[in-house]
Structure 1
Amino acid sequence: MEQPARKRFTIPRKAGTIIGIVVIALAVIAVLIDGPHEVEHDSLFAPPPQPTVVVTNPISNTTLHQTHDYKGVHIVFTKAEMATKFSDDFKRGGKYVVRVSLNTTNNNKDTIGVDYFNLTRLILPSGQAVQGKVASINAAVYPGQPQNGYVDFPVNEKIDLSQIKIQFDNQLLS
């Protein structure tokens, strides 16, 4: 007994074209919605241009002259600024932000890793130690290549920046 031939399901050519266009359109929309973010860039050869930082409601700033040598890396804390917000601050944590700027120079022959985020504390005039919420400086410190950046600290009230201290690697700097 002969089996009946199976019918093969085919999509009309016009319907296939429409389905293809819809799939491509959805893919394009997905890429546009979830495209590159602020910190991503597509250049392997040069860093992306740095946007101008906008400070919202600047409150005060002071010059710091606190230094520390950590595993052959010379670290200089240069400035503290307090504001309601910095435009490049994506992690809110307090009512205000104290941004402490720093410069580093690696005096070693090898690259050194420095965990600025976990090693740096802001000591408030009350004596309270505050953990940073963001560190912009690269943890890899290359020999002979100075770099600069900042560590942001969340605070809930205005403080006198001339009375703050920096603690680095459990050592209070002066």
Structure 2
Amino acid sequence: MERTGIVTMKGNPVTLVGPEIKPGDAAPDFTVLDGKLRPVTLKEHAGKVVILSVAPSLDTPVCDLQAHRFNDEAAALGSGVAVLNISMDLPFAINRFCLTGNIENMQVLSDHRDASFGTSWGVLIKELRLLARAVFVVDGSGTVRYAEIVPEVTNHPDYDKAIQAARSLVV
């Protein structure tokens, strides 16, 4: 499934591959890789509130700020919330980013191998094989409670709304 008219990259329209994920939908599972090439799935976080911070590449200023903002927020959210940052960056680049950026409170993950996350969550940019900037919040029972796909990839998501959505689900 391909969708147009949703996202631009530097003002140029791009095509998203995959379904539109909306609040109330069952959260699709996916398999991504951590920095040690270990597969990670959404199911591993069952029972927790999960914030999915989606970024095109950690090597860009907005993505760097997005990762650091959610890393900082993760520290305050407690053990009932898992924060996952997902991009198409290689696992080796993820390791370097986490080490040099002191990212310790969230998992930083790579979708480069299969684009499993991008295609199942509808954020894979066909023309660039990058992920569109987005934030999703999933409750402990696996239901999407918040979804934001940023219309212009180079802009920031609404951090406050996403954090508020996660906090409202913490019991």
TM-score range, shorter chain: under 0.3
Give TM-score, length-normalised by structure 1: 0.27
- Which has the bigger relative contact order, CA under 8 A and spacing at least 6? 2
Give TM-score, length-normalised by structure 2: 0.27
More strand by share: 1
More helix by share: 2
